[in-house]
Structure 1
Amino acid sequence: MRLATWNVNSVRARVDRVVDFAVRESVDVLAMQEIKCKVDQFPFEAFEDAGFHVEAHGFSPWNGVAIASREPLENVRTSFPGMPGFAKDHEGPDAPLEARAIGATVGGVEVWSLYVPNGRALEDPHYFYKLNWLEALTGYTRDALEQNPDLALALVGDFNIAPTDADNGDPAVVAGFSTHVSGPEREAFAALEAAGLEDVVRPLVPTGYTYWDYKRLRFPKNEGMRIDFILGSHALSAAVTGAAIHRNERKGEAPSDHVPVVVDLDLSGPDDDDRPMIF
């Protein structure tokens, strides 16, 4: 299975480019973030004509997530347990849920396409919403893997966190002053890993960014950030055979400000012939 994640920054504006990439790179499962449309506005036909099944979740021209798959998507969900909501000037536990998560099972893998809240500023209510959102995601991950340690779980998408200094090359993003690199955000990312996940791309692609701001010539200067990840459980990590960050997708006409991140998975399991003989 070839699994990819891409913050497409408006699927309607870039549908031809996104479908072309998925076909050209033989992607089996594509998780998308920031589709920026309602479900009835999603360009399903373009994906279906290319042989994909699609599940989308979006309420407005903001946020929104989707998964396209060569195989049918099962057990589709649009939130994880405890996922908090957010609305401006709304306090309390009953804030409306945003379209930031969609999960499905495909080919035996539980895949979640996630668009983690941005945070906006260190004292903004959105920042605390982001931390609460990540805490709930960590709780779900821990519970799921405790119940099924052999679960092939993939949390993929735009995490809006550069977990180490090596993941941040944008001079405008400064630890202690900016979101994405603050201590609590990095601790939240580490907590996700401690819950039973690992970045399955970094060991194979140790350098490279996934996002460059449109402004201030950030891409030509390579002043980017690595904020798009594929985090996998032990069962998923053990199946990874390759990985890539497709930097060239930031080039050309009207690109997204993010690029795809891809992993190859061998889910066939060990060959019977390779197993030790028992007498």
Structure 2
Amino acid sequence: MGLRIATWNVNSVRARLGNVLDWLGGFAPDVVLLQEIKCQDHDFPRLEIEAAGYHAAVHGQKSYNGVAILSRHPMSDISLGLPGDAADEQARYMEATIAGWRLASLYLPNGNPAPGDKFDYKLAWMARLERHARTLLAGGVPFVLGGDFNICPTDDDVYDPPSWRGDALCRPDSRAAWRAIVNLGLTEAFRALHPGEKGRYSFWDYQAGAWPRDEGLRIDHFLLSPQAADRLHSCDIDKGPRGREKASDHTPVWIELD
């Protein structure tokens, strides 16, 4: 069965609900991985999402973070939180099995200011993600890690590389941690199908006219297990929602698996 999966940092699902519902109705993905929903589970707009034809699994947190998975198909084996640190209470990771695929929605820490405690947390979180990806690979189930990784993998993913060099999204140790995950044998979907393309972004800051000047970053990604990579048909960025009124500062990225 073919599957169209999108990832979208909505920057408050309740504030963007109209945009989210419009996009779901027009684009009609099978699965949507949401990040930064910024609400507790009981405040998630479940009725509206279900009326649009989607099941919803939610891992929320008051005012900050929060991830969710929306699916037209039934979900099973839902797990909340990234393994490896029982003391970590930030709602940044969840997984579910859908149509035989293990799908994760993740919101990787930003890490700024760097260096500092927040950057240390980012790198520790990425080390946990690497360990968990090893476990998933060992399990042999085809999987997709999708979400806001808060990483620009290379300078091709930044509108102005010199000005971002010291930022946590672009620092050498951030990129090294990203490569350590990819080098386990995962495929970054967009680059697999769009090698060498520059000027393709998924995030534009609200400040200083970044959107109209196309001063963006590509920080929303899909990492695919070998079995998923073999089935990768397409991957692209839908800039439409970023131009809407009351838009999120991110826009959806999507893949299609045969």
TM-score interval for Structure 1 and Structure 2 normalised by the shorter chain: over 0.9
Note the C-alpha offset of 1:73. 1.0
Which residues in structure 2 correspond to 1:65-104 (within 5 Å)?
65-82=67-84, 84=85, 95-104=87-96
Match for residue 248 of structure 2 among 233, 238, 256: 256
Q: Structure 1 segments of 4 or more deviating over 3 A?
A: 170-173
Residue 155 of structure 1: aligned partner = 145
Aligned to 1:36: 38
Higher alpha-carbon deviation: 4-13 or 96-105: 96-105
- How many Å apart are 1:172 and its aligned residue? 7.9
Structure 2 counterparts to residues 163-182 of structure 1, below 5 A: 163-170=153-160, 173-175=163-165, 177-182=166-171
Deviation at 1:219? 1.0
Extract unaligned runs of 5+ from structure 2. none
Question: Is the CA contact 1:170–1:218 (under 8 Å) kept in the aligned structure 2?
Answer: no
Question: Are 2:224 and 1:235 equivalent residues in the alignment?
Answer: no
8 Å Cα contact 2:36/2:65 also seen in 1: yes
- Indicate conservation of the 8 Å contact 2:159/2:216, yes or no: yes
**Greater Rg by CA:** 1
What secondary structure sits across from 2:193 in the alignment? coil
**Secondary structure at the residue paired with 1:55?**
strand
Q: Secondary structure at the match of 2:207?
A: coil
Question: Which of the residues 123, 128, 137 maps onto 1:131?
Answer: 123
Structure 1 segments unaligned to the other structure (5+ residues): 85-93, 267-279
Q: Secondary structure of the residue that 1:231 maps to in structure 2? A: strand
- Tell me the distance in 1 between the aligned counterparts of 2:193 and 2:24: 21
Number of equivalences: 253
TM-score in terms of structure 2 length:
0.94
Q: Look up the equivalent residue of 1:202 and give its one-letter code.
A: R
Task: Please give the alpha-carbon distance, in whole angstroms, between the structure 2 residues aligned to 1:113 and 1:217.
Answer: 29
Task: In structure 1, give the amino acid aligned to 2:159.
Answer: G
* Higher relative contact order, structure no. (Cα contacts within 8 Å, ≥ 6 residues apart): 2
Identity %: 39
Structure 2: how far apart are the matches of 1:17 and 1:194? 36
From 10, 15, 18, give the equivalent of 1:16.
18
